[in-house]
Amino acid sequence: MHFIEGIQCGLPVLYQADGGGIIEGARRFGICFRGDVQHAILEMRTRYPQWRQAVLADPPSGDRMCLEYRSLIQRLIVDR
């Protein structure tokens, strides 16, 4: 989960369109590319402050994820 660790450190993400599970986790935090990585790098360089702000505004949180899972499980138990 290298991309999540990078995001948690404040780094925007460049990711390949056929990158499997990274797409869902990274789309809010960076630029997707297919084939032309040079264009994606130049775009990131141009828009880096915007992407960095997006990352810093709401980085993924393991603690928040655990709390949300717990809440969901509790709701499912109660709704049985």
User: H/E element holding 71?
Assistant: helix 62-78
Nearest to 51 by CA among 80, 18, 13: 13
pLDDT at position 12 is 94
Distance CA 63, CA 66 (A): 5
Structure tokens at 11: 């780094």
User: Over its length of 80 residues, how does the chain's per-residue pLDDT go in tens digits?
Assistant: 788 888 888 999 999 998 778 888 888 899 999 989 999 999 999 999 999 999 999 888 878 888 988 999 999 998 77
pTM over 0.85: no
Nearest to 27 by CA among 36, 16, 38: 16
